[in-house]
Each structure stands twice: as structure tokens, then as C-alpha cells.
Amino acid sequence: MNKNILIGIAVVALVATFFLGRGNLGSAPSGLPAAQSIATTTAVGPDEVITIFANKASCSSRVISTTDGSNQAIQVLFGAPTNGDTTTPTELVGHLQAGSTTVSYDSGMYGCGAWKVFSTSSTTILVSEFN
């Protein structure tokens, strides 16, 4: 009897871990369709922080293109921290995206939180979001 109860508890715990332990369910598995929901051109800088994506419950991916010809890099800060941190991107804080590049950020890795960008010089970026 005790053995059956232990096996039952183990199965319930395993199933609960699989379904409840997933933080982000927005990532698009390979081969499944995703539709573009946002596509905007945004001016960034100089020395200005811009919020480019709002906090969302789910998304498949987000794409940032820095292809306005200025070859200006940007700093990207992914998501709104849940620990109360109020960090904003600067020339030293954030993830560098080189100028004249297009990067697709999968939500399975980068999430669907509010994203901010910073640039030391004026540049224009194109941002897209897919669901």
C-alpha cells in the first residue's frame, strides 16, 4: 500500500513539475506559424532610453533591426525585472546589438517583458513582434 502511494505521489509531482515549472510558454517551436503583431520604426538617442516593447504575457519572438545606415550600435535591456530592480540601459549597461544588424530574439530565451534600448548617437531602429 505504501509503495503505491509513493509511486502515485511521484507521478503527480513529475506531472506538476512539467506543467507548472515552465516560466515562459511563448516560444515558437520550430515549424509552427507565428504572425507579426507589431512593426514600428523608432528613433533612438542621443543618450535617450526608449521602451520598445510593452510587457506581454506571451509572444513568439521579437526582432530588432539597426539598419538605418548610421552603423550605430544600441544597448538592449530585456524584460522588466521581478526583483524591484530599476536598471536602465546605458552605454555600459545592457546587451550590445551592433549597428547595421537584424537580430531575432526568441521569447524562450529573452522573454516577453518590457524591453528598453539606449544609443549614444541618433539612430533609427525597426522593431517587430511575432505571436
Summarize pLDDT for 79-131 with one digit per residue, the tens.
755 555 567 777 778 889 999 999 999 888 888 888 999 998 999 999 999 98
Summarize pLDDT for 5-17 with one digit per residue, the tens.
767 777 766 665 6
Report the pLDDT value the prediction gives residue 127, as an integer from 0 to 100: 96
| Torsion angle in degrees (nearest 10) through CA of 125, 120, 116, 105 | 50
Report the pLDDT value the prediction gives residue 1, as an integer from 0 to 100: 59
Contacts of 131 (CB under 8 A, 6+ apart): 34, 35, 37, 58, 59, 60
Domain boundaries, the chain: 26-130
Summarize pLDDT for 40-86 with one digit per residue, the tens.
999 998 888 899 998 888 888 999 999 878 889 999 988 755 555 56
Q: Which CATH number fits domain 26-130: 1.25.40, 3.40.630, 2.60.120, 3.40.720?
A: 2.60.120
